[in-house]
Copies of this chain bind each other. A is one copy, B any other.
């Protein structure tokens, strides 16, 4: 029998005992589980950042894994807690959309509302349901309780939908989904779609325009594989197009952040006059 894994993703930061309380509760119920911290430095209440992070990492988890996501601005209110059985993993979190991108990427087999009180701590606070409801439920699921026991079927749930790129013959209208620790800008354009659009003419320069800057970029396959001191376009490790610099922060150099829009087009750098022409999609 293999060790089950519980992955924790929160906006609890590093300074409090909150994450430790969840782990302590989990190991009190199932001492044989392995816990992986996905991240706890999600900006407070940033549902989209948490949804992106879960979406990017879930695939890599072993089969017997349960994700517990506690980014929960409405904790204790009437919002539901959902538990979903995906094609590979279990997902637990508030019904505020934070689970949806990862869940729908994997395929949702069944969703239920977490209601079964016997799965909770004996004393339930109204401000820390991660500790009092979600962590113990995850531990019980890791011990193999029947999924239907968690509560009634949930027919619909909140969704977070990542903005889709506009792919046109002459340009791609993209958005930055995430800026990573190195300052790389991860866009919403999948590598597959991008390479299909780009075609076979390798070496052809691309022009990129944002609200702040415009620049010419070259496609590279590694961060070290393009010209130094110039922006690179790379299909990154999440399978999406990234804008990066060799050993420098593209976010700082290009003054870009998550949510910013950009237009990628063939050919040389755009003229000043064309900047800012977004068609306003998404």
Inter-chain contacts of A74 with B (CB < 8 A): 222, 224
A40-48, A109-117, A167-175, A259-267: which lies at the interface? A40-48
Interface centre among A40, A60, A63, A222 (most CB of B within 10 A): A60
Do the beta carbons of B40 and A14 come within 8 Å of each other? Answer: yes
Do the beta carbons of A222 and B76 come within 8 Å of each other? Answer: yes
Instruction: State A75–B220 Cα separation when bound (angstroms).
Output: 12
Task: State which residues 98-137 of A face B: CB under 8 Å.
Answer: 125-128, 131-132
Inter-chain contacts of A222 with B (CB < 8 A): 74-77, 126-127
Do the beta carbons of A45 and B180 come within 8 Å of each other? Answer: no
Do the beta carbons of A15 and B181 come within 8 Å of each other? Answer: yes
Instruction: State A182–B39 Cα separation when bound (angstroms).
Output: 16
Given contacts A77-B224, A181-B44, are A62 and B27 in contact (CB under 8 A)?
Answer: yes
Do the beta carbons of B24 and A61 come within 8 Å of each other? Answer: yes
* Contact of A2 with B by CB under 8 A: yes
Interface string of A231-244 (1 = CB under 8 A from B): 00010110100100
Instruction: State A65–B125 Cα separation when bound (angstroms).
Output: 23
Inter-chain contacts of A45 with B (CB < 8 A): 247
A57 and chain B: residue at smallest CB distance: B17
* Contact of A257 with B by CB under 8 A: no
* Contact of A87 with B by CB under 8 A: no
Given contacts A17-B38, A36-B20, A247-B73, are A28 and B60 in contact (CB under 8 A)?
Answer: yes
* Contact of A152 with B by CB under 8 A: no
* Contact of A274 with B by CB under 8 A: no
* Contact of A160 with B by CB under 8 A: no
* Contact of A272 with B by CB under 8 A: no
* Contact of A80 with B by CB under 8 A: no
* Contact of A215 with B by CB under 8 A: no
Inter-chain contacts of A3 with B (CB < 8 A): 27, 31-32
* Contact of A12 with B by CB under 8 A: yes
* Contact of A221 with B by CB under 8 A: yes
Interface centre among A17, A56, A77 (most CB of B within 10 A): A17
Residue of B5, B234, B237 touching A24 (CB-CB under 8 A): B5
Give residues in A with beta carbon < 8 Å to B: 2-3, 5, 7, 11-21, 23-25, 27-28, 31-32, 34, 36-42, 44-45, 53-54, 56-57, 60-63, 65, 73-77, 125-128, 131-132, 180-182, 221-225, 234, 236-237, 239, 242, 246-247
13 examples of A-B residue contacts, CB within 8 angstroms: A5-B27, A12-B181, A14-B14, A15-B180, A15-B181, A17-B38, A17-B54, A21-B57, A21-B60, A28-B60, A44-B181, A127-B237, A131-B237
